[in-house]
């Protein structure tokens, strides 16, 4: 297990280095000049040339890459080309917002997705099963931004209520206000992954319930609850854990619209704006952060397999 973990961590480092190369190259292949965006179309060629030299954009590409990647290793993400703000400081300010939004979303996904998937499998082809399946289909079909807009407009029209939209409140200082602020967007953001987890839990559990050892457990007189919770669920949860890991990795990109609607200045909107404005320092660093999140979540999922299924051995 230890050797496997060491190999996987080393492989993760190699993958992230390759991702950094791809991100760095693609940002420079995109059309547009960040100094022109910064200075405006009325800037003189001399001013633009001076700004490019000041930002090191005229240096050879390998030199730019080594300088940027060396900063990453020392936790210095550079400065924004547009406003010269420290990317590291901005990341520290925005990361707790995105992290809390993802944590709430993951909580709703697991809290509702797995139990309702189990109910759907146990009550197969009965009313609870039909309700869960219909709910899952609707959750996948209805756009999140539409629900988010309705969630802001309808309570305001009917009851004069709207969640706080001025700034993100700390969960430690104002927990109730924090819940009012992060609860609705995270619930909407969780609808699609929750539906996927419901459907996958149902199908995986139904497959396990048909196996011989489950029939043997029932023949021994075990209750349905003991059979499902102690035998069937644990052996059917591996594909569900995989999907949850992938869903969490995709939440950062999927939260851009929700963050904008609820005025949550997290990393999703920050990355989107940086890519549109071709802000090299911001876009490169935060896309690399997204890649690191995906890589290490996959590592965590792989390591969880051994606990969930003792038949899995790491060579």
Query: Residue 213 is part of which domain span?
Result: 94-308
138 CB neighbour count, 10 Å cutoff = 11
208 lies in the same domain as 256: yes
* Domain endpoint, select from 39, 73, 107: 73
**Residue segments in the chain with a per-residue pLDDT below the cut of 70:** 1, 31-34, 36-41, 43, 165-169, 249-250, 252-254, 306-315
In this structure, is the dihedral angle defined by the CA atoms of residues 292, 59, 276 and 95, taken in order, positive or negative?
positive
User: In angstroms, how far is the first alpha carbon of the chain from the final one?
Assistant: 8
Q: Is residue 124 part of a domain?
A: yes
pLDDT in the model for residue 130: 92
For residue 103, the domain's CATH number is 1.10.3720.10
164 CB neighbour count, 10 Å cutoff = 15
Q: Is residue 36 part of a domain?
A: yes
Q: Is residue 80 part of a domain?
A: no
Task: Name the nearest CA neighbour of 100 among 44, 178, 198, 6.
Answer: 178
pLDDT in the model for residue 127: 92
**Number of structural domains, the chain?**
2
For residues 239 and 237, give the distance between their C-alpha atoms in angstroms, rounded to a whole number.
Answer: 6
Q: Is residue 82 part of a domain?
A: no
201 lies in the same domain as 54: no
44 lies in the same domain as 133: no
161 lies in the same domain as 55: no
CA neighbours closer than 13 Å in the CB half-sphere of residue 116: 22
pLDDT in the model for residue 147: 85
104 lies in the same domain as 186: yes
Q: Is residue 192 part of a domain?
A: yes
Three-state DSSP class for residue 86: strand
- Averaged pLDDT of the chain: 80
pLDDT in the model for residue 134: 92
């Amino acid at each position: 297990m230890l050797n496997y973990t060491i190999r996987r961590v080393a492989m993760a480092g190699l993958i992230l280095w390759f991702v950094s190369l791809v991100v760095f190259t693609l940002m420079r292949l995109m059309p547009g000049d960040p100094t022109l965006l910064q200075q405006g179309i009325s800037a003189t060629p001399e001013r633009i040339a001076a700004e490019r030299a000041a930002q090191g954009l005229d240096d050879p590409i390998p030199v730019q890459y080594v300088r940027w990647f060396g900063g990453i290793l020392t936790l210095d993400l550079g400065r924004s080309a547009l406003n010269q703000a420290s990317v590291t400081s901005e990341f520290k300010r925005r990361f707790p917002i995105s992290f809390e939004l993802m944590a709430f979303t993951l909580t709703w996904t697991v809290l509702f997705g797995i139990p309702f998937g189990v109910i759907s499998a146990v009550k197969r082809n009965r009313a609870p099963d039909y309700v869960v399946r219909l709910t899952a289909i609707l959750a996948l079909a209805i756009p999140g931004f539409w629900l988010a807009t309705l969630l802001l407009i309808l309570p305001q029209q009917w009851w004069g209520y709207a969640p706080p939209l001025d700034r993100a409140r700390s969960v430690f200082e104002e927990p109730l206000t924090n819940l009012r602020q992060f609860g609705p967007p995270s619930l909407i953001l969780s609808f699609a992954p929750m539906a996927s987890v419901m459907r996958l839990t149902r199908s995986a559990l139904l497959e396990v319930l048909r196996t011989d050892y489950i029939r043997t457990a029932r023949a021994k007189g075990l209750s349905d609850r003991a059979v499902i919770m102690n035998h069937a669920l644990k052996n059917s949860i591996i594909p569900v854990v995989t999907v949850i890991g992938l869903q969490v990795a995709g939440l950062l990109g999927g939260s851009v619209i929700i963050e904008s609607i609820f005025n949550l200045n997290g990393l999703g909107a920050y990355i989107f704006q940086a890519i549109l404005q071709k802000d090299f320092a911001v876009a490169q660093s935060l896309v690399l952060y997204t890649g690191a999140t995906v890589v290490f979540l996959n590592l965590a999922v792989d390591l969880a397999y051994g606990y969930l299924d003792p038949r899995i051995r790491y060579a």
